[in-house]
Amino acid sequence: MAINFASKASPKVLEAFTKESITEGIFSKDYDWTGVATVRIYSVDTLPMQDYDWDLVDGTSRFGSLTELGDTYQELTVNQDKSFNGAIDKRNNNSTLMIKAAGKVLNRQTREVIVPMVDKYRLAAIAAGNGVTGFGGAGGGTIEYNVSLSKSNIVETIMTSNKKLNNLLVPKKNRVLYITETEFIKCKLADQILGANSNVAAVARDILVNGEFGTLDGLHIVPVPDSYMPDGVVYMIVTKGCCISPKKIETMRIIPDHPDIDGHVVQGRLLYDCFVFAKKANGILVASSAAGGTT
């Protein structure tokens, strides 16, 4: 541990660059984990269609055989339990021009550590179909392998991926394209956007001219720092509401005049997780550079 004492310095702390959460707005708010660690998500089964027998006169149902309506459930348990515990000794605090004010420490911890940690975990959980057995296959969800993007193919490749969700009857609204910053450069330089006869909407040109995120084929583009994206994932299309990220405990506290030190203690705890709904897994497509599988 290093404590840097100030001889003569500005009382203003030089803050690190931070980024707001890039995942917060995509999750369902329909379920409540208050007071419990595990929630069962129930889904009602559909009924088989039968031929209506209009001339049946033997007293049995013209609607066909009677089928009991069944249901299935998905059991989700919150597992990510993280914490921090820091001391602010009065000597150190006074010797650094009071720049370690406890409240600012908590805000800084949230911006620089907690928000990136949660975003990275959520993206990894979505890419893995956390909570869904057989994700990318029989369980639902699409994984494309051997994806390699260039400025000449990126627009068509993403549109082809988006088409796969259309064919799975996923609602076209509220889809988000998470793409790494490295791959997003190819989108800015895409032939379809820069071409003299480009038919891409004007909002797409804003990606290049103004640096705005814009949309592509109805997808809201969210560039992701390369370090946030799971290994091998080039981009993901995520439909809002097809996953959930419960937070059971969000503790942030300052303990003044702590008995074990001459000063304050700052503590925090976050109990959270991220899951994909089995019934809505088809709303997610993961494009991977890894070999294997089928596209």
In a domain, 214, yes or no: yes
Amino acid identity of residue 25, one-letter, is G
The answer as to whether 53 is a domain residue is no
**35 domain residue, yes or no:** no
Residue 99 CB contacts under 8 Å (≥ 6 apart), including other chains: 6, 11, 13
Domain assignment present for residue 180? The answer is yes
Q: Is 155 left (phi over 0), alpha (psi -120 to 50) or beta?
A: alpha
In single-letter form, the type of residue at position 104 comes to K
Q: What is the mean pLDDT of residues 219-226?
A: 93
The DSSP bridge partners found for residue 224 are 180
| CA 37 to each of CA 80, 249, 272, 273: distance values in angstroms, whole numbers, following the listed order | 11, 10, 10, 10
| Residue written as token pair 């994806």 | 147
Q: Is the pLDDT of residue 260 over 80?
A: yes
Between the ranges 3-12, 162-171, 191-200, where is the mean pLDDT highest? 162-171
Interaxial angle between packed helices 181-188 and 202-209, expressed in degrees from 0 to 180 and rounded to the nearest 10: 120
Mean pLDDT across 222-249: 94
Does 119 reside within a domain? yes
What does the alpha-carbon distance between residue 88 and residue 264 come to, in Å, rounded to a whole number? 5
Burial of 99 per CB tally in 10 Å (0-12, 13-18, 19+): middle
Q: Beta strands of the chain (E only): which ranges?
A: 38-44, 71-77, 80-89, 142-144, 175-180, 215-216, 219-224, 233-239, 243-244, 247-255, 263-272, 275-276, 284-288
CB half-sphere exposure, 53, CA atoms < 13 A = 11
The mean-pLDDT minimum among 17-21, 104-108, 137-141, 164-168 falls in: 17-21
pLDDT at 9: 42
- Band of the pLDDT at 268, cuts 50, 70, 90? very high
Q: What is the mean pLDDT of residues 249-266?
A: 88
Q: Over the stretch 185-194, which tens digit does the pLDDT of each residue have?
A: 998 888 776 5
Mean pLDDT of all residues belonging to the chain? 85
Residue 104: give the domain boundaries. Answer: 24-30+80-288
Residue 2 in domain: no
Give the separation between CA 132 and CA 35, rounded to whole angstroms. Answer: 24
What are residue 144's DSSP bridge partners? Answer: 287
Number of domains in the chain: 1
DSSP tag of 98: T
Q: What percent of the chain has pLDDT over 70?
A: 83
Q: Is residue 66 part of a domain?
A: no
Q: What is the pTM of this model?
A: 0.84
End-to-end Cα, the chain, rounded Å? 50
Q: Taking residues 32-42, what's their average pLDDT? A: 82
Phi and psi, residue 284, nearest 5° = -125, 135
Considering the domain boundaries, does residue 222 fall inside one? yes
- Left, alpha or beta for 131 (phi > 0: left; psi -120 to 50: alpha)? left
pLDDT at 189: 85
